[in-house]
Structures are given as structure tokens and as C-alpha cells.
Amino acid sequence: MSETVRFREAAIEDLRAMYDYIADAAGHTRAFGFISRVEEHCKGLALLPLRGRASDDLSPGIRILVFERRVTIAYRVDDIGVRIVRIFYAGRDYSEDLFPD
């Protein structure tokens, strides 16, 4: 069964910030390629939405998926499909950034 994958605005902003960071360090071509791979990895959750690790200790229903050991993807699966909540790069403390209160 194939699910719909949606990106929350915060996740889109995370991708934009990641692009800018990589582009500054390695150029726009590398940044575009990397962000494209991250997006495709997220979209792959349409086929296997439960492959990430359940992390109910962070928030009920949140799942964590790691991409290329550098990106942490936080998402939820609901009745409509997969919602990409946030995308963190290079060891950011996602538990605090995901739920700052």
C-alpha cells in the first residue's frame, strides 16, 4: 500500500537551510544533489512508512529515520499518510529542536 508523503513547512525550511549550508561549503551542485537525495529518501516512506524507529519518548507517534548518517528525519504516519515533521543535519540535537518546550 502506498501512502502520501507531505512535508510540513518546518521541514521545508530545514531543507532550505541545509541547502544553504552545503552550498556555502561545497557549492550549489553538491547541495542540490544532496537535498534531492534527502527528498527522495523521504518520499520512499510512501512504500514503507513504518521503517523508521518509533520514538514515542519524544512525542507520541513520532518516528525517526537516519539518512547517510548525516540527516535525521522526524515524521509521523497518520490516516492521510506520512507527514515529514522536521529534517535535521549533521548531529543537531533534534530532541530539543523538535520539541523546544
What does the alpha-carbon distance between residue 85 and residue 4 come to, in Å, rounded to a whole number? Answer: 14
Residue 36, number of CB atoms within 10 A of its CB: 11
Lowest mean pLDDT, pick from 8-22, 39-53, 84-98: 84-98
Give domain limits for the chain.
4-92
pLDDT tens-digit readout, 44-92? 999 999 999 999 998 899 999 999 999 999 999 998 899 999 999 976 5
**The three cell numbers locating residue 89:** 543535519
Structurally, at CATH architecture level, domain 4-92 sits in 2-Layer Sandwich (3.30)
**What is the helix (H) or strand (E) element at residue 27, kind and residue range?**
none
Q: Is 68 exposed, middle or buried (0-12, 13-18, 19+ CB in 10 A)?
A: exposed
